[in-house]
A and B are shown apart, each in its own frame.
Chain A
């Protein structure tokens, strides 16, 4: 028995997914009861696929929720911490690219007045 496939789940709505989740959990519960009685090999195998299916459904529910939230927070200043860029702690504290490129007025004037000259030797 195959269990659910991720690409079919992605098309479903949230309510559908939650209903599917309940179904799968009920199936798992009944399989466990059968195991207590003494189960056949097929049932034990089925338990594995059901557990993984539950994991798949939960993953997809989570992914969808987070994608929606990212859209919601796009462009806003304050974002929940788990939606922020992770990188490493040190990298997050570094100057941004824009901040590094900033120059003082004095420096700007100097670079205009005295740019890097290029010379060439006449062959």
Chain B
């Protein structure tokens, strides 16, 4: 026979596909593991058509809620004079970071560190140590504490 040109080959293949259909040869996937893992499928991000809540809530634990008031007795006065530390009653949900930020923003002083404890009565006490450049007595006066 005359050597088949590319076009005739194509034509013959097309005819065969039309007559016999294209699903003759089954291609099975090669499985390299005995366990079947769920295939990854399309995961769309959320695009809500409406907000569920109309107004998102204002931050619930703002600086005014965090710091409740100064805590005062002989031992705290001692701490005030000796360790540059002021003692505050604080919201029980507040953590040391909250307390530090709230104190800084309310009284404009730098805080060295905060230690907290929960009293047997259920309130939180915070020992706020100020940096050495700040005067605790000055802050205590401003707070209204002495």
Which residues of A pack against B, CB within 8 Å?
25-26, 28-30, 32-37, 62, 65-66, 69, 78-83
Contact = CB atoms under 8 A, between A and B. Distances in A.
B72 interface: yes
Given A78-B50, A82-B54, 18 more contacts: A29-B67, A29-B69, A29-B106, A30-B144, A32-B68, A32-B69, A33-B70, A33-B144, A34-B144, A36-B69, A36-B71, A37-B72, A66-B55, A69-B54, A80-B50, A80-B51, A81-B53, A82-B53
Nearest to B70: A36
Dominant secondary structure at the A interface: helix
Contacts of B49: 78
Contacts, number: 45
Interface of B: 49-55, 64, 67-72, 106, 143-145
Contact of B64 (A25, A78, A80, A81): A25
Nearest to B64: A25
Closest 9 pairs (CB-CB, A-B): A78-B50, A80-B54, A33-B144, A32-B69, A25-B64, A78-B49, A80-B51, A36-B69, A36-B70
Q: Is the interface of B mostly helix, strand, loop or mixed?
A: loop
10 contacts: A33-B145, A36-B70, A36-B71, A36-B72, A37-B72, A37-B144, A69-B54, A79-B50, A80-B52, A83-B54
